[in-house]
Copies of this chain bind each other. A is one copy, B any other.
Amino acid sequence: MSTRESATARQAGRPRSERAERAILEATLDLIGEGMGIAELSIEAIASRAGVGKTTIYRRWSNKEDLVVDALAVLRTPMPPIKGESVRDDLIVMLTAMHADAVDGRNRSVMHMAMGESDRYPALLAKFRCLVLEPRREALRAILERGMATGELRADLDTEIALATLNGAVIWHCKWGGGESGTVLAPRIVDQLMSGLTG
């Protein structure tokens, strides 16, 4: 069974409009992932790749930027469930999920392209920040604040720096470091961050 056939089979139970919407979002991600810049990206090209008419796209999205933000939002895996028992365990769960996002080829390619073009598309960047980034950052911040309250983390924690360090370490290591799995990498990062470099 080809990829297209299995995708069709999986989606057979969904309403037609939802199938079209998913195809449009996937077509947008494929085109960006293949190196098409946002300036080049056209509703025509997306419609053609998705196998739908242009009016189907315009019925749902009034402009290209809104469509790209929605496509970026579906690209990220859903946020993982947080147990709320141990700050260390919850941070590891979050970082493992971030790692899964960061190592996916198309995902990485699309994110870099979107970030590289963000200066030219400030509205796109603002929506991306609000829809995709902030919910994840808030989830991580909530874990840190819980740790400050329970005493698992220092009470005077600089949460902004902690967020940058946790996020940045995963992204950087995925790009430039070794090829460890997320389940190996996440505890290495969390444990060293928690105990500190001086020990």
Chain B hits for A5, CB < 8 A? none
- Decide yes or no whether A53 CB sits under 8 A from chain B: no
Q: Distance (Å) between the CB of A92 and the closest chain B CB?
A: 13
- Interface residues on chain A, number (Cβ under 8 Å): 53
Q: If A161-B189, A164-B189, A176-B129 touch, does A116 touch B112 (CB 8 Å cutoff)?
A: yes
> Do the beta carbons of A161 and B116 come within 8 Å of each other?
no
What 1/0 mask marks residues of chain A from 142 to 174 whose CB sits below 8 Å from any chain B CB? 001001000011111110111111011111110
The SS class assigned to the A binding surface is: helix
Contact of A165 among B117, B154, B156, B168 (CB under 8 A): B168
Question: CB distance B117 to A153 under 8 Å?
Answer: no
Q: State whether B162 touches A197 (Cβ < 8 A).
A: yes
Restricting to A63-112, which residues have a CB under 8 Å from any CB of B? 105, 108-109, 112
A194 touches B188 (CB 8 A): no
Q: What chain B residues lie within 8 Å of A155 (beta carbons)? A: 199
Q: Please give the distance in Å from A48's CB to the nearest CB on chain B.
A: 20
Further contacts, 4 of them, CB under 8 A, given A113-B116, A165-B172, A168-B168: A144-B197, A153-B198, A161-B169, A195-B196
* Residues of A participating in the B interface, judged by any CB pair closer than 8 Å: 35, 37, 39, 105, 108-109, 112-113, 115-120, 129, 133, 137, 144, 147, 152-158, 160-165, 167-173, 175-178, 188-189, 192-199
List the 9 closest A-B pairs by CB distance, nearest first.
A196-B196, A168-B168, A154-B199, A112-B116, A168-B172, A164-B173, A165-B169, A113-B116, A168-B169
